[in-house]
Each structure stands twice: as structure tokens, then as C-alpha cells.
Amino acid sequence: MMAKRTALLGMLICLAGAVLYGQPAVIAPSANGDIGLFTMTTADGPRAGQFTMGLYGWYAPRLAAESFAGQPDGTRWFVQYGATGSMGLGLTNWWSVFVAGGGQVTRTGGGWEGGIITGNLYPTAFNVSEGQKVRLGTKVSFHSENDTDLRFGLWLAGLIPITTGSATNEDGTINRVQTGRGDWEWGGAVSKSWFTGMVSYTLAGQPTDVDVRVPNTLRFGVGAEIPVMPNIHVIAEGLYNVFDGGDFHEPDYGQLNVGARVWFGHTGWALSAALSSNLSMLFAHGDNPNPWGGVMGITYAAWPPPPPPPVVVPAAAEPVVEQPAAAPAPAQAVTAAPPPPPRPTPRTTTDEIFFDGKSARLTNIAKAVLDGVALRMKNDLNSTAIVTGYTDNTGAEKANEELGMKRAQAAKEYLVTRHGIDPGRITTVGKGAAEPAYDNSTAEGKAKNRRATIVVTLVSGT
């Protein structure tokens, strides 16, 4: 079991690292209630005060655990289908809460010869309806300082049972398939651009009416949400479920969901639909027993607001000087009024900040320098700035130019996000190792060339 977990976790990390740039601008809740794809959670969350809701229907075939050694797979096939409604709310820009619940049906196939589901043996065919466990949870989302497109999410949820009592009624009919105890789920996700990798663990509540240990569930997932049109995203997610521990458990299985999400204009409403496949069954047996399922839902999450327009401060009007009429004096000349004072001459200020090694991360000293730059730009709302990033002469020219641009963009992002400076007033340039200001043949010179310059033009001249 440990080797299997390690291999799956390694695969998850490798796939989550193969990502591109360009984060999707819109979000939607998954079938589980929190922000995600179809059934897997991403690292994104709603904005502060943003309300989300969703209603999904789903159909998922499974295999029960063997009731006797060597039992054919076709004799323990069952399917679960149902509907799930959810609501979510962003408490802050990085913290959200969500709740999801509904009803489900568990039905065995025509060739059922017995099987074990959630630790219970079901020797005869059955068809039972029950309420889903209510998933009540919270999630925190945050991003890297050096790359705002690299997002991280952590969540914790409790799964609260609705249907309680014994699994089997006195007349032998089935009352429920889920356990009558609450479960705990926790997990994490990493998203970059269109891609997400996640892992979660569900600790199953152990039943009190039977002497059996129910297995826990370790879940891995990788997925992508790729915008092909402004209001249409193609979504694919691959998941692998590992049943951990317990006296009896269903076989581990992989699942693939492929479909699309379509938004209705900028209303925030979206329709999601996917074809689902139990990959373990498909690879082992083809279409018999049936491995195909699906997910469909309608969701709401307010469309993101457009970026604020740049603030344009009109130039101060020139003062109007009234010339008083001179008293009649035939013998004296009239003195002309003095001309208006000239406009102040624009001036520039130059600041330098330095970086460590190949890093584009701002040091505390650099942030203090940028605080002073921001103060000057706030005092003169017509001022502009040009931030130019440089490197030493170590490394390839293209890599140095990219690193220089990242350093310039890091300074700009700090001025925008920390001090609210309009991004339209700041221009970034990456020059790499070009135009060294210090001697690259010495260690001290190289350290000083790992820099960015901030040239501020003060229009008022103050």
C-alpha cells in the first residue's frame, strides 16, 4: 500500500508541474460544492462577498468488493446516481465556506451475486434511495509572491450523515448503503494556468451497529480547464481512488471525465456536462459491464468585474489675472499686470533596488525603497514610472532578459498591489545583462548589477 501511494503521489507531482501561463478569468463550483472542475477541487476560490451555487446530476458505475474468492466482476457491478445542490460564499479574497448535499440511488446490476460495499455484505440484489451526506467545509486559497499565477488551496470538510439507523431493516430490506457516521475530508490543490493537481484523504466514520472497519479513501486528481472561446471552456479531469485500510473494500479505480462548461453571456450562470468513464472497468472488460457514466450541472458564480479605468487627473487651470482699470491720469503711464507664473518644470528621480542570485523576489530593503517611490507617485497623481530590470553576465542572454523582466514586474506588482498605484502609470522593461552599471568581473560588481532601476517623472516638479 505504501509503495502504491508513493508512486501515485509522484505521478501527481510530475503532472501538476507540466503547466502553462494564462489563468482562467471565471470560476464555477464543482459537484462537491467548492470551486473546481466537474468533481475535483482546484486552488481557486470566490472573491470576498461572492456567492456561488450549483445543481448537478451524476451517474457513476462501480464494482463492489468480492463476497467470495474469485468472484467475477460482472456479478458485483452496481451503479450510483443522484442529484447534488450546493452553495458557497467568499468570506475574504482568500477564505471561503461551502455546503453541498442531495439524494442518491444505489442499484445493483442484473447479474448480481453478492458484494461488499462500505464494509457491508449485500448477498441479494437491491435498489435503495437515501440522502447524501452533507459536505460542509472551508477552503483557503493563496498564491506565490514570485508568480501570482501559481495558486495553492487547502480545504477541510465534514461529511454529515442524513440517513441513520441500521443498514438493514427488520424485514430484510436495505435502509442505506452509506455509513451512519460522519466522515472527515482534507486535501490540497496546486493550480497554474489552466492546470490543477490535487490530493485528498477521507477518514471514514466507523459504524457502531456492525463490527467492521470501513476503509478510508485516498484520492488523486489532475485536470485542465482550457478556454477555447470567451464563454466556452473544455474540461478534462483524471482521478484515481485508493481505498485504504478497512476489513473489506471495493477495488481501487481510476475515473476520467471529459466535457465542457458554457457560460450564458456575463450573467455568471453556466452549464457543465461531461462523459465519465470508470477506466479500471473499461481497461479490464471493455463495455461489459457498463463503465460509462456522466455529470451534468448548472452553476452560478458572479462574472468577474472589469478592471478599473485609469485615473486621469486634469492639469491645473492657469490662474486668471484681472487687470484693474487705471485711474485717469494724463501725465502718467499705465503699468501692465505681471505675467502668470510659469508651469513647474517636470523632473525625474531614480532609485535602485537589488536582488539575490537568480531570484526575482523583493528583499525587505527593496520594499522599503519602493515604499518611498510609491509615496512620491501618490503625491503627484500625474507622475509616471519606468522600471527596468537587469542581471549580471552569468547565464544565457535570453534567460537573463526574462529574469530582468521578472524583476521589473515584481517591483511593479508591489507598487500596484501594496500601494494601489494605477498599473497604467508604470512601464516595465527587461534588459538582462545589457548596460551594466558595475564591473561584472568582480563579485561585488555582479551583485550590484542584479538590480532594477525605477525612474519616476514628476509632472508637477515637486
Q: 154 Cβ partners below 8 Å, 6+ apart?
A: 139, 140, 186, 187, 188
Are 110 and 104 in contact, with CB atoms under 8 Å apart?
no
3-state secondary structure of 210: coil
**Of 204, 153, 117, whose CA–CA distance to 40 is shortest?**
153
Domain boundary among 301, 335, 361: 301
Domain boundary among 301, 322, 357: 301
Tell me if 326 is assigned to some domain: no
Whether 266 and 374 map to the same domain: the answer is no
Q: Could you give the CA distance from residue 412 to residue 415 in angstroms, rounded to a whole number?
A: 5
Long-range CB contacts (within 8 A, 24+) of 441-449:
445/392, 446/392, 446/393, 446/394, 447/354, 447/392, 448/354, 449/390, 449/391, 449/392, 449/393
Within 10 Å of residue 409's Cβ, how many Cβ atoms? 19
Whether 374 and 264 map to the same domain: the answer is no
CATH number at residue 162: 2.40.160.40
Whether 250 and 386 map to the same domain: the answer is no
Structure confidence at residue 373 (pLDDT): 93
- 290: exposed, middle or buried (C-beta count within 10 Å: 0-12, 13-18, 19+)? middle
Tell me if 154 is assigned to some domain: yes
Domain carrying residue 157: 2-301
pTM higher than 0.85: no
- Which element (helix H / strand E) includes 45? none
Whether 282 and 136 map to the same domain: the answer is yes
Q: 234 Cβ partners below 8 Å, 6+ apart?
A: 225, 226, 228, 259, 260
Tell me if 319 is assigned to some domain: no
Q: Could you give the CA distance from residue 429 to residue 453 in angstroms, rounded to a whole number?
A: 10
Within 10 Å of residue 230's Cβ, how many Cβ atoms? 11
Whether 115 and 238 map to the same domain: the answer is yes
CATH number at residue 424: 3.30.1330.60
The Cα-based distances of 109 to 116, 122, 148, 437 in angstroms read 14, 13, 49, 76
Q: Could you give the CA distance from residue 391 to residue 438 in angstroms, rounded to a whole number?
A: 11
Whether 288 and 413 map to the same domain: the answer is no
Whether 253 and 354 map to the same domain: the answer is no
Which residues pair with residue 141 across a beta bridge? 153
Tell me if 239 is assigned to some domain: yes
Q: How many domains does the chain have?
A: 2
Tell me if 215 is assigned to some domain: yes
Tell me if 336 is assigned to some domain: no
The Cα-based distances of 141 to 108, 223, 358, 415, 458 in angstroms read 40, 18, 27, 22, 38
Tell me if 314 is assigned to some domain: no
Tell me if 337 is assigned to some domain: no
Whether 100 and 196 map to the same domain: the answer is yes
Whether 370 and 228 map to the same domain: the answer is no
Whether 291 and 142 map to the same domain: the answer is yes
Q: 205 Cβ partners below 8 Å, 6+ apart?
A: 161, 179, 180, 181, 182, 183, 184, 214
Whether 403 and 257 map to the same domain: the answer is no
Mean pLDDT (10-residue bins), the chain, 462 residues: 45 39 68 93 91 96 89 90 95 94 91 86 87 94 82 94 70 74 92 93 78 86 92 95 83 94 93 95 90 96 74 63 62 66 79 91 92 91 92 90 93 92 93 89 90 90 56
Q: What share of the chain is helix, strand, coil (3-state, %, to 5)?
A: 15, 40, 45
Whether 387 and 449 map to the same domain: the answer is yes
67 φ/ψ sector (left φ>0, alpha ψ -120 to 50, else beta): alpha
Structure confidence at residue 372 (pLDDT): 92
Domain boundary among 246, 280, 301: 301
